[in-house]
Structure 1
Amino acid sequence: MKTFNELNINKELIEKLKKQGIKNPTPIQEESIPYIKNKKDLIGEAQTGTGKTLAFLLPILENLEKNNKMIQTLILTPTRELAIQISEVIESLNKDNHYKYLTIYGGKDISNQIEDLKQGIQIIIGTPGRILDHIKRKTIDLSKIKTLVLDEADQMIFLGFKNEVEEIIPKLAKKRQTLCFSATMDSSVKKLAYKITNNPISIKIESEEKILDNINQFLIKTIDRQKRDMLCQILNKTNPFMGIIFCRTKVRVDALEKVLSERGYSCQKIHSDIIQSKREKIIKAFKNAEFQYLVATDVASRGLDINGVTHVYNFDIPENVETYIHRIGRTGRAGEKGETYMFVDPKDTVQLQEIEKEIKMEIPRLELEHISNTECNYELPKLKYNKKIKTTSKKK
């Protein structure tokens, strides 16, 4: 394994990384950084939690012309949360204000963004819709950018932003470096990636199994009307330091968060109907461990890199294996151990079979005793485990 020094990252950045506890590059960083520094186009495939953000940010910051106040880099992300996370990583490396960057997304006052753009921004991190809005208003000039980053390309397509991305591309400098990063690379992602790049270097990091190795996965067979009580049993048993509970829809998030709050659990919710300013406050509070459970739709399954998440609970089974891996990837990060629990209704059988086939394992089953009308602040029936579980929980 190479060091950051061997990758020719400057000492100032290396010291800032060390202060954050980052001493050695991850495989995607080790493979990608030399090509990006040499201004090659690149398509990188690596799972969530493998360090893709620093893989492109470090060489971009190295190549930035500090005295050039034009926009030099555009980083497109599918969600506001991911845009904010990337900007936070830049900020952690920018204590001396070497780099002028701006995060652009909907839900924020566009007039303030326009004023900020006049100050000489070098790096733009934004979502496709708001970037297009600025292009149409002629408040942003991307004709001279040197580097385009398409981050989480698979999610960009999944969320329906392919047309917006293709509308933005012609507005960019033709002679540019294009970097495309994705957790998965199906035919639609590959088609888009190769369309916008020029003779790219392709890098694939086989890390899915390593991620899963750090996570103890468990499955609970149930029916929908018993899910809430069974979830409460599991929450009481595991009592995680921090946990994320995933639901399939905004309505189900609202309903579950209300029930959990009424039963005395420390929780808040996040989904796309919650105004952006409030979402940011909730995420910040969760990062600071001000509450124990985040109840979320899949808007939170990508881009949220939160230390301390020890457990993930799939209240609803995810739609596909990619979403399953992204959800459970919120725990077991940076070599730490994590635990996940998934509640499966009989109607979910086909989806479960597909997930287990892809991850090449049968998820261990837990059996819960029959319960009815259980209020979870009362003493609960004991869990019957098929196998002994080592928990990573910590009393709050």
Structure 2
Amino acid sequence: MKGGVSRLNSHFTSLPIDDFYVRRLRELNIESPSAIQAEAIPVAMEGKDVVAQSQTGSGKTLAYSLPLLHKIDKTAKDIQGVVLVPTRELGMQIVQTLEQLTEGTGIRVQSLIGGAAISRQIDRLKLRPHLVVGTPGRIMELLKIRKLSFHHVRTVVVDEVDQVFELGSMQEVEAILKSMMRDRQVLFFSATMPQPVQAVIDRWMRDPVYVQVNPEHRTSQTLEHLFFVCDERDKIDTLRRIVRLYNPPAAIVFVNETDDVAEVVNKLQYAGLSIESLYGEAGKQERAKVMQQFRAGKFQLLLATDIAARGLDIPHVTQVINLDPPIDADHYVHRVGRTGRMGKRGTAISIITPKERFIINKFSKTLGIDIQERELSYGKAVEPGQERKWDEQRRARVEPARRSSPGTAEPKPADKPAPPKLEAAKARISAEPARPVKSSAPAEASNGAAPVKQPSAAAPANKRKNDRVRTKERKNKGAPRWLKEKQQNKPTT
């Protein structure tokens, strides 16, 4: 069944759900169902197996949570519903949603997430929860030591089913399905359904109903997709400039490798940006603390690997930035789905090198979306070549004015006015009286003026003789008296 939206503008009262949950949704400011909720809830309420696919941020959690809750017998003391998730962050978010819906009903929900203390989870199982939300690995661990029983489970949901199987949990999921009753209901939900999932559907579902909402639009239509090109060494600085430009209240920055997390965090913190990290190798308490602070707006940027791309719903995230391009189109869908959720606007930005341009082209073609290139110029994100166009337009406006007013043209370097000090010096020199110029010719006596005396030819010879006498006297200055007398009595030639 491909996503009709006939119920989209209706209210939850038109769906086959209890009035209690309608009131509770209204208290949570949720009035009308989304397309996936309007299409999937009635089918799931009938007890049919469902394969539901819709865009990220379209409300899939409520689409399976409401039918799941209607199947719970709160007077029983057995586990009746299971939700399998790929990550602890998504699991805790689903637990929070279920607890909000079941407040005051007596329905008990427990998380069984890997990384937490298993002894504490075993103690809580003694409270007889009706619903469990967990990762396949931890649930299988508890089943093996017989601390968990699924013999009374009526409904099992696999959220982000493609990611659950991609993380190597397919065998664990199938083992979990074997531990349940044969007539249990199976619900698969995800934004993407790659071909390997179909084999599991054929093996474990009975006549499933396919619910696809806008399958031709795999990303939200409220998203703006952009990319910036730079050298690899300039990616961090480009990210810094983008954050300064958009100044988002909250944004998620994605990298591919865990090894890059610490380096990026340190460089951006050094640049004055508010950023923390979330990755798979971090401890459970550390990850929970980071997510809690990010939701509370304690810092601006969350640097994450793809572990944060699945199912997280943080309403104030306005930008998703790919510092590393995703490995495929499906990962791009899940990453950018962290913003632009439930009809809100958002921006998906990718920072790539020239060699990675083909990746963006492939995503654009595969997903049928327009990913536009932008450049950073003077604190703005502009189209490529826009700065050059501005310069050409500016010259086009100035040139006609120069031609029409030749006198106002810019002076050439030779025509430029001299500095003020130089002008003052020139004026002072021009004001002084002209000095007489000496002539080499004999001056004729006229007007009673004395003639200018010319040097005689014997003058150089007399000058040389006088120089010799002075030199001789200087040498004899400290000589004894008898030597001086001898020199004086010496006949001259």
- Pair in the same fold by TM > 0.5: yes
Question: Scaled by the length of structure 1, what TM-score is found?
Answer: 0.91
The answer to whether structure 1 residue 385 and structure 2 residue 382 are counterparts is yes
Q: Partner of 1:260 in structure 2?
A: 268
The answer to whether structure 1 residue 149 and structure 2 residue 157 are counterparts is yes
* 8 A contact 1:242–1:293 mirrored in 2: yes
Q: 2:198 aligns with which of 190, 203, 211?
A: 190
Q: Partner of 2:422 in structure 1?
A: none
The answer to whether structure 1 residue 178 and structure 2 residue 195 are counterparts is no
Q: Partner of 2:104 in structure 1?
A: 96
Moved more, 202-211 or 6-15: 202-211
Q: 1:287 to 1:384 in 2, by over 3 A?
A: closer
| Paired AA for residue 298 in structure 1 | D
| Paired AA for residue 88 in structure 2 | R
Shift of 1:207: 5.6
Distance (Å, rounded) in 1 between the aligned partners of 2:301 and 2:279 = 14
Distance (Å, rounded) in 2 between the aligned partners of 1:310 and 1:181 = 25
Shift of 1:7: 0.8
Q: Partner of 1:391 in structure 2?
A: none
Q: Partner of 2:368 in structure 1?
A: 360
Cα-to-partner distance string for 1:209-260 (whole Å, 9 max, x where unaligned): 3844211121101121000111111111110111111111111122111111
The answer to whether structure 1 residue 327 and structure 2 residue 349 are counterparts is no
SS of match in other structure, 1:358: helix
State the aligned residue count: 377
Q: Partner of 1:113 in structure 2?
A: 121
Distance (Å, rounded) in 2 between the aligned partners of 1:357 and 1:298 = 22
Cα-to-partner distance string for 1:267-295 (whole Å, 9 max, x where unaligned): 11000111011111111111111111101
Cα-to-partner distance string for 1:125-174 (whole Å, 9 max, x where unaligned): 11000000001110000122111111111111222211211222211111
Which runs of 5 or more structure 2 residues have no equivalent in the other structure? 1-6, 387-493
* 8 A contact 2:319–2:346 mirrored in 1: yes
Distance (Å, rounded) in 1 between the aligned partners of 2:86 and 2:304 = 17
Q: 1:235 aligns with which of 243, 252, 272?
A: 243
CA-based RMSD of the aligned residues comes to 1.6
Shift of 1:384: 5.2
Percent identity over paired residues: 33
* 8 A contact 2:122–2:147 mirrored in 1: yes
Question: Scaled by the length of structure 2, what TM-score is found?
Answer: 0.74
Q: Which has the higher contact order (CA 8 A, sep 6+)?
A: 1
Q: 1:210 to 1:189 in 2, by over 3 A?
A: closer
Q: Partner of 2:33 in structure 1?
A: 25
SS of match in other structure, 1:74: strand
Q: Partner of 1:373 in structure 2?
A: none
| Paired AA for residue 110 in structure 2 | L
| Paired AA for residue 3 in structure 1 | H
* 8 A contact 2:81–2:154 mirrored in 1: yes
The answer to whether structure 1 residue 221 and structure 2 residue 229 are counterparts is yes
Shift of 1:97: 4.6
Q: Partner of 2:282 in structure 1?
A: 274
* 8 A contact 2:248–2:319 mirrored in 1: yes
| Paired AA for residue 71 in structure 2 | N
Distance (Å, rounded) in 2 between the aligned partners of 1:106 and 1:211 = 30
SS of match in other structure, 2:13: coil
SS of match in other structure, 2:90: helix
The answer to whether structure 1 residue 202 and structure 2 residue 210 are counterparts is yes
Q: Partner of 1:132 in structure 2?
A: 140
Moved more, 215-224 or 205-214: 205-214
The answer to which structure has the higher helix fraction is 2
After superposition, where does 1:40-79 map in structure 2 within 5 Å?
Answer: 40-79=48-87
Cα-to-partner distance string for 1:315-354 (whole Å, 9 max, x where unaligned): 1111111111111111111211111211111332332221
After superposition, where does 1:241-256 map in structure 2 within 5 Å?
Answer: 241-256=249-264
SS of match in other structure, 1:291: coil
| Paired AA for residue 303 in structure 2 | V
Distance (Å, rounded) in 2 between the aligned partners of 1:200 and 1:340 = 34
Distance (Å, rounded) in 2 between the aligned partners of 1:217 and 1:186 = 23
SS of match in other structure, 1:364: strand
Which runs of 5 or more structure 1 residues have no equivalent in the other structure? 370-380, 389-396
* 8 A contact 1:211–1:332 mirrored in 2: no
Shift of 1:26: 1.0
